[in-house]
Structures are given as C-alpha cells and as structure tokens.
Chain A
Amino acid sequence: SQTIHQWPATLVQPVGSPLSLECTVEGTSNPNLYWYRQAAGRGLQLLFYSVGIGQISSEVPQNLSASRPQDRQFILSSKKLLLSDSGFYLCAWTGAGKLDTQYFGPGTRLTVL
C-alpha cells in the first residue's frame, strides 16, 4: 500500500530564516505530487505541483520554491521566511498520468515569529 510522509511535523522559525520541508511517498512510482498551504481558518491553497522529476508548476508567486530531486521526493523551500508564511503545509499525491483521488500527508505546522 502507498504511504506518504512529511517532516518535520512542527516547526518554529524566525522571520528571515530559511526553510526546507520534505515529503516522500512510498509504494507507488511516478506519482503526481502537490504542496498546499492552509492558513488558520482558511481554505487549501495550492502552491506547487509536479508531474515528474524536475518538473515543477507554480500556482502562486511568492518567496517559496519547490524541487523534485527524486521520483518520490518533493521539497518545499524558502531562502527567507515571512510572517505570512505561517500555516499548515500539506503534501499530497495522486497516481501517475491523470488526476484521480488525491491523498494527503500528515502535514507540517509552521510558525514564523
């Protein structure tokens, strides 16, 4: 069966510090991968998605970036965090080829102080 991992689970960072969040999927090949952010009391905001290694589509211009160095690994980064980057970051995956059911990882709670 497929499993999706995210780490760290929680993170407290000062403004201006860098960020690296990691997501890995097990039990499937060539998944579509997604990064979402959910700010407090708000809906899910799609940040990036990837349909293959090195292929990244950005949905929202901001100070975040994403990379996919391996088939089942998706990384979210920032060089300098802003207060507005605080939120619940979710990684998700679907099967290769086309969008079907999307499954979410456990998430990372980021607080920027």
Chain B
Amino acid sequence: QKEVEQNSGPLSVPEGAIASLNCTYSDRGSQSFFWYRQYSGKSPELIMSIYSNGDKEDGRFTAQLNKASQYVSLLIRDSQPSDSATYLCAVVPGAGSYQLTFGKGTKLSVIP
C-alpha cells in the first residue's frame, strides 16, 4: 500500500523562527508532490507544488524534494502566528494516477 508519512506534531516554533516540516513517501514512482495548509475547521489550501529534485521557493515558503531518499520537506521562514495550522503533504503515486495520497498532517504552532 502506498503511504505518505508525516510527524503528527504538534511542532512548536517561536515567532520569527524557521519551521521545518517533513514528509516521506513509499512509492518510488511518485512524480508530483504538494503541500497544503489547513486551518482548523477549514478546507485544505494549496501552498506549494514541486516536481523536480531540489528546492523551490515562493515567498517565505521553500519546498525541498529528494526523490532518491523519497523525502519532501517544507520550510517556513520568519514564521508568523498566522502560519499556525495543520500542514498536509500529498503525493501522486505514479504516472497517470488520478488520485492524491495524503499524509495525516503535521500541526504547527507558532508562539508569539
């Protein structure tokens, strides 16, 4: 069974620090990777997508992908209290799939 694993947390960081969220996946054929943010009681919203090995930066967010290690991460620089949410890692398990496999999410708390 194809799996996506995340540390459930909670991960607590002080305001202004870097938050590092990690995700591993089991299917070596996975091609597409996504990070979603979900505030309590709300639906997930897309933060980043990444398809190639290396780093991808968008504002305070950086996604990192290492396909050899089957590892994807999300760094949040200058963390703000408004970043407090659950972060979901999602993976497309192989070419041609119509489904995303989601991790259970990591809860992040940014302490003012």
Interfacial residues, chain A to chain B (CB-CB below 8 A): 32, 34, 42-44, 46, 49, 51, 57, 59, 90, 94, 98-107, 109
Contact = CB atoms under 8 A, between A and B. Distances in A.
B17 interface: no
Contacts of A94: 98
Given A100-B32, A101-B49, A104-B43, A49 B99 contact: yes
Contacts of A102: 34, 46, 90, 100
B23 interface: no
Contacts of A105: 43
Interface in B28-63: 32, 34, 36, 41-46, 49
Nearest to B97: A99
A59 B1 CA distance: 13
B92 interface: yes
Nearest to A49: B98
Nearest to B49: A101
Interface residues of B, number: 22
Chain B at the A interface: mostly helix, strand, loop or mixed? loop
B104 A42 contact: yes
A43 B99 contact: no
Contact of A101 (B41, B46, B99): B46
B100 A99 contact: yes
Contacts of A49: 98-99
Contacts of A101: 34, 46, 49
